[in-house]
Amino acid sequence: CSIVATAFSVPRAPESRWAAWREPWVVTAAAVSIVMVGLIFHVLLRAQYQPTGIAAITNLIHHYIVPIVFAIFWWRAVPRGSLVWGDVWRVFAYPAAYLVYVLMRGEIGNVYPYFFIDVRNLGYAQVFVNVSAISALFIGAGFAFVAAKR
C-alpha cells in the first residue's frame, strides 16, 4: 500500500527527488500491481482469510477499495500516448523482484506467505507452474494497461 500511496500523492507534490514517481510507467506499475493484488486476493485467498472486526474493514479497504480507486486515479493521471510496449517489462520488474524476495524469505525462514508458492507443501514443480501462471497474468495486465493508454 505504501507504493500506491506514494504514487497517488507524488503527482501533487512540488518538483523534488520524488519526480521519478510521476513517470507514467511508474504509476502504471503501481496500478497493475495493486489491481493484481485485489484480483489474486479475491480469487485465491479470500476463502482462506475471513477477518472480523477492524481487520475486516482494513481487508476491504486494502483488497477491494484501494485497487478500484487507484485504477480510476491511473486512468485520469496517465496521459494517452505516454506508454510504450516496452514499459510492460518495466511494470513487471516489481512483481518479479517481490517474488524472488518472497521465495528467498520462505527458504530462509521456512514460512511462505501464500499457499500457492509454499515450496514445502507443493514442491518446486507446482510452485513453478503457479508462479508462471501468475506471472503471465501480470504481464497480460501490463499489456492491457499499456494498450488502454496507447
Q: What is the rounded distance in angstroms from the CA atom of residue 136 to the CA atom of residue 150?
A: 21
pLDDT higher than threshold 70 for residue 125: yes
Q: Give the residue, 20 or 108, on which the prediction is more confident.
A: 108
The total number of structural domains that make up the chain: 1
Instruction: For the chain, give the mean pLDDT.
Output: 89
**Range of 96's domain?**
2-148
Residue 9 confidence (pLDDT): 56
Tens digits of per-residue pLDDT, 10-52?
A: 555 556 666 667 899 999 999 999 999 999 999 999 888 889 9
Residues 6+ apart with CB under 8 A from 51: 58, 59
Residue 63 confidence (pLDDT): 94
pTM score: 0.82
- Please identify which residue in the block is written with the cell numbers 514445502: 120
